[in-house]
Amino acid sequence: MPQQTHGLCGREGTIIKRELQGAADKAENVANSRALEVLARAGYAVSGVLHFLVGTIAIGLATGKGGRADVSGAVAELGSQPAGPLLLWTSFAACVALALWRAGDAIFDFEHLPAKNEVAKKLKAAAQAAIYAAMALSLAAFARGAGQDNRESTSDMTVNLMKAPGGVLLLIVIGAAVAVTGVVYVVLGVKKSFRKHIRMPAAPTARKAVTGLGIAGYAAKGVALFVTGLLVVIAAVTAHPEESTGLDGGLRALRDQPLGVYALMAVGAGLICYGLYMVVRARLAKMEY
């Protein structure tokens, strides 16, 4: 009798494993489907449009105009256009698709790489999935009329973290990570490493244009991220959470430095270039790994 029970459990375990494997295969097929790929490519274009808008708002700040030079400001600007709700919900769907695509990469891809490289690639894909998911949530919030100022939400998050055990150290780590990411973006731009993620156009003029947009765009986004991360670290070290104001606060802080108006205009122009590059990437991106 015990042997019969053991055999039954073994068969049930095999059936469960087979069902789980089947479910995993179906999930992988969906994650690599043509329909999802098309929508995911549109997600790159949405990211490009938002970066373009942030860049134009940043230039406006440099010239004395108002606005919020961050994702919330860009999304609000997008929503204010004719057919705004339709644009927001369509953009939401595209960002969700790109988040799912990158999540699929994190789960199913890179097994052919050495273990160290595989882990790094999976973590990068997971981080990008989280970023696009957050972008999708912001789009949905504004589409439902519940958008909020990122400066206030960032400051509130900083206050809550400072009150938590080990929160100050965590904030320093987060700020340092954002700043380091900014440096990485600058390096990627200068070294033109971004080109390995796209299929460069055949025409020499087009290749030069795409490369130029990438260099300027990655460098500008790197500067913006570095200043933003630096403000988070300063807020944590000085116990002044109001100093942590997100991307908009970082760009405003850049404006307030000597010759900062010109630096902010340059960064704004670079973010516009990055936005244009991301729109191009929607067409040229290498989606398989």
Please report whether residue 4 resides in a domain: no
Boundaries of domain holding 202: 11-284
Question: Does residue 5 belong to any structural domain of this protein?
Answer: no
Q: What is the pTM of this model?
A: 0.81
pLDDT in tens, 65-74: 888 888 888 9
Q: What is the 3-state secondary structure (H, E, C) of the chain?
A: CHHHHHHHHHHHHHHHHHHHHHHHHHHHHHHCCHHHHHHHHHHHHHHHHHHHHHHHHHHHHHCCCCCCCCHHHHHHHHHCCCCHHHHHHHHHHHHHHHHHHHHHHHHHCCCCCCHHHHHHHHHHHHHHHHHHHHHHHHHHHHHCCCCCCHHHHHHHHHHHHHHCCCHHHHHHHHHHHHHHHHHHHHHHHHHCHHHHHECCCCCHHHHHHHHHHHHHHHHHHHHHHHHHHHHHHHHHHHCCHHHCCHHHHHHHHHHCCCCHHHHHHHHHHHHHHHHHHHHHHHHHECCCC
- Domain assignment present for residue 3? The answer is no
Q: What total number of domains does the chain contain? A: 1
pLDDT at 82 (0 to 100): 87
219-247 pLDDT, tens digit each: 999 999 998 888 888 877 776 655 556 78
pLDDT at 11: 57
Q: Residue ranges of the chain with pLDDT lower than 50?
A: 1, 8, 19-20, 22-25, 27
Is 18 within a domain?
Answer: yes
pLDDT the model gives residue 20: 46
Does residue 76 belong to any structural domain of this protein? Answer: yes
Instruction: Return the pLDDT at 25.
Output: 46
